[in-house]
Amino acid sequence: MPNDRTIQEALQWASSFLAERKLEQPVGELLLRHYLQVNRTHFLMMLQEPLSNAVWNQLASDLEQHAQGVPVQHLIGYEVFYGRRFKVNGDVLIPRPETEELVEVVSERAQKLFQERTIQVVDVGTGSGAIAITLALENAQMNVEAIDISPQALKVARENARSLAADVTFIDGDLLSPYVSSKSKVDVIVSNPPYIPVRDEGELAVHVKEHEPHLALFGGEDGLDLYRRFMTELPQVIEATGLVAFEVGIGQAQTVCEMLSTAFPHAMTEIKRDINGKERIVLAYGTMTNS
């Protein structure tokens, strides 16, 4: 491609390429801004400037990979979550916008429940560390720990914590087993566990199915295996006054809410909808003892 073509022409070409393949057109702008290392305002001011052959070729190569299923986040190496860049790769789930709402709800409920005192928080199945790191950075009174069963995921999470200067302790473990073993108690347990039913694998988009870790995606035949395991461990770990917050899949909220009501009969339970109106967050809070 000749190098007298402008950024705007590159953007138009990328948009056409993506539209023809029924892919999201903003990917073209995202890639170009990544190569040029500029924000959107600066990018729009540069549209009439020429684009080098090297960047044209990079754009063409990355769009071909994206068309074959590679997530754009893997091409640029990060996803923005709560306004911060989190490194992502094939070892961790790419943080979704809906999970930002889980962070907001946990912050709001925890502040009401525990007022100004230090709050002991654990994020279970932390992946990239997005939930744990964001909670730690947004809430000075939270002492945050994070667990994952994947050493590769923990490596990514630790890198993100370092780059974002977040004080989070990372633990290698399966669900809450490290706390059960040590008889430790915490105030808040938050988790976005694997919840996609195995039977739905064939319906997943190729960029999810082939490029994100199955360990972080699938929760057994009906998607609820991890929640069932949680119900046996949660009562052993949560303080007498506490908060449990889960992200759940489509159609799972009522079932998970009933599980929490059974495990914590004196607690308040609540289902919250996400920005798309889907039941996405399930909470139990208040009195967490059975007596």
- Domain ranges, ordered by start, for the chain: 7-68, 90-287
The answer on whether 220 is annotated among ligand-binding residues is no
The answer on whether 127 is annotated among ligand-binding residues is yes
Does the structure show a pLDDT above 80 at 215? Answer: no
Output 214 or 277, whichever has higher pLDDT: 277
pLDDT tens across 145-203, in order?
A: 999 989 999 999 999 999 999 999 999 998 899 999 999 999 999 999 865 555 545 45
Residue type for 243, please? L
The answer on whether 179 is annotated among ligand-binding residues is no
Contact 189, 115 (CB under 8 A): no
Does the structure show a pLDDT above 80 at 237? Answer: yes
The answer on whether 143 is annotated among ligand-binding residues is no
Residue among 236, 247, 134, 255 at smallest CA distance from 193: 247
For 79, half-sphere exposure in the C-beta direction (CA atoms, 13 angstrom radius) is 22
pLDDT tens across 17-34, in order?
A: 999 999 899 999 999 999
The answer on whether 195 is annotated among ligand-binding residues is yes
pLDDT of the residue at 207: 47
**pLDDT tier, 220 (very low <50, low <70, confident <90, very high otherwise):** low
Percentage of residues of the chain with pLDDT beyond 90:
73
**pLDDT tier, 37 (very low <50, low <70, confident <90, very high otherwise):** very high
3-state secondary structure of 40: helix
Does the structure show a pLDDT above 60 at 210? Answer: no
Residue among 148, 135, 118, 10 at smallest CA distance from 82: 135
pLDDT of the residue at 203: 54
The answer on whether 193 is annotated among ligand-binding residues is yes
Give the pair of three-digit tokens for residue 200: 């739905």
pLDDT of the residue at 3: 57
pLDDT of the residue at 216: 43
Residue type for 234, please? L
Contact partners, residue 91, CB within 8 Å, separation at least 6: 150, 152, 153, 155, 156, 213
Does the structure show a pLDDT above 90 at 252? Answer: no
**Mean of the per-residue pLDDT values of the chain:** 89
- Beta pairing class for 267-273 and 238-247: unpaired
Among the residues of the chain, which ranges form H helices? Answer: 7-20, 26-36, 40-45, 53-67, 72-76, 97-114, 130-138, 151-163, 177-182, 206-209, 225-237, 253-263
In whole angstroms, what is the distance from residue 3 CA to residue 10 CA? 11
Would you tell me which CATH number, out of the four given (3.40.50.150, 3.40.50.300, 3.30.70.260, 3.40.50.720), belongs to the domain 90-287?
3.40.50.150
Mean pLDDT of 52-81: 93
Helix (H) or strand (E) holding 289: none
Residue type for 78, please? Y
Output 3 or 11, whichever has higher pLDDT: 11
pLDDT of the residue at 162: 98
Question: CA triplet 135, 138, 140: central angle to 5 degrees?
Answer: 95
The answer on whether 125 is annotated among ligand-binding residues is yes
Q: What is the pTM of this model?
A: 0.89
Please provide the DSSP assignment of 197-224 as one string: -GGGGGGS-HHHHTTS-GGGTB-SSSS-
- Which residue is listed with tokens 């429940």? 113
The answer on whether 139 is annotated among ligand-binding residues is no
